[in-house]
Amino acid sequence: MVSLLGRVGYLAKGLAIIVIGVLFAVAVFTADADWAGGFDGAVKAIVSLPFGLAILLVVALGFIAYGLFLLVRAWRPRL
- The pTM for the full model equals 0.60
Give residue 36's pLDDT band: very low, low, confident or very high (50, 70, 90).
low
Give residue 79's pLDDT band: very low, low, confident or very high (50, 70, 90).
low
Residues 79 and 63: their CA atoms lie apart, in Å, by: 20
Per-residue model confidence (pLDDT) at position 35: 59
Give residue 68's pLDDT band: very low, low, confident or very high (50, 70, 90).
confident
SS3 of the chain: CHHHHHHHHHHHHHHHHHHHHHHHHHHHHHCCHHHCCHHHHHHHHHHCCCCHHHHHHHHHHHHHHHHHHHHHHHHCCCC
* C-alpha radius of gyration, the chain, whole number: 15
